[in-house]
A and B are shown apart, each in its own frame.
Chain A
Amino acid sequence: AQSVTQLGSHVSVSEGALVLLRCNYSSSVPPYLFWYVQYPNQGLQLLLKYTTGATLVKGINGFEAEFKKSETSFHLTKPSAHMSDAAEYFCAVSDNYGQNFVFGPGTRLSVLP
């Protein structure tokens, strides 16, 4: 079975600073990995996903994530935070048949002026 942990339920960064949101997963089979963003009172939007191939994945809004199998991690980064990045971020994992899709508990990102 798949599971996801996200270290830090709330992360604060200053505008222009590096954003690092941590995600570690557990999977008995090669995983598919996802990052979603949720703005207040809205649905979820896919930021990026890893299925196979290149382990560094680039997404929308300047975000990227790197799949590190040895560390069972899929951390999300952005070089320079913008005020509009303030939102809830969810890491998710599924098996490589697209089954057993599980969200992590989420990390709320605050961006300080």
Chain B
Amino acid sequence: DAMVIQNPRYQVTQFGKPVTLSCSQTLNHNVMYWYQQKSSQAPKLLFHYYDKDFNNEADTPDNFQSRRPNTSFCFLDIRSPGLGDAAMYLCATSRDLNLRETQYFGPGTRLLVL
């Protein structure tokens, strides 16, 4: 089945130690999104890629970066995780930026910062 896959499902890192979360998709969608979701809160968009074009939300901290080496894969890099970065990170895709197109979400990676 075509889907959005996130690995790992749970990630533990240490304060200040760089960490990378990965997302892959078999939908061949043009757009890939990264959201941060803290406990009991709505998902917050960090950035998205439309093909190779990177679009950062205005309030996304510089500590968060992303790479999209090809259509299928997208990575979220947290350069120096702080305790406040512990959250669920959701990857999503859509065929186009026009949100008539459904966003397909992965299962998420829960990040714990010690």
Contact = CB atoms under 8 A, between A and B. Distances in A.
Interface of A: 9, 32, 34, 41-46, 49, 51, 90, 94, 97-99, 101, 103-106
23 contacts: A32-B99, A41-B9, A41-B110, A42-B108, A43-B105, A43-B106, A43-B107, A43-B108, A44-B90, A49-B100, A49-B102, A51-B100, A90-B43, A98-B98, A98-B99, A98-B101, A99-B97, A103-B42, A103-B43, A103-B44, A105-B41, A105-B42, A106-B41
A45 B107 CA distance: 10
Q: Is the interface of A mostly helix, strand, loop or mixed?
A: loop
Interface residues of B, number: 24
Contacts, number: 51
Contacts of B110: 41
A87 B106 CA distance: 17
B97 A43 contact: no
Given A41-B110, A43-B90, A106-B40, A101 B99 contact: yes
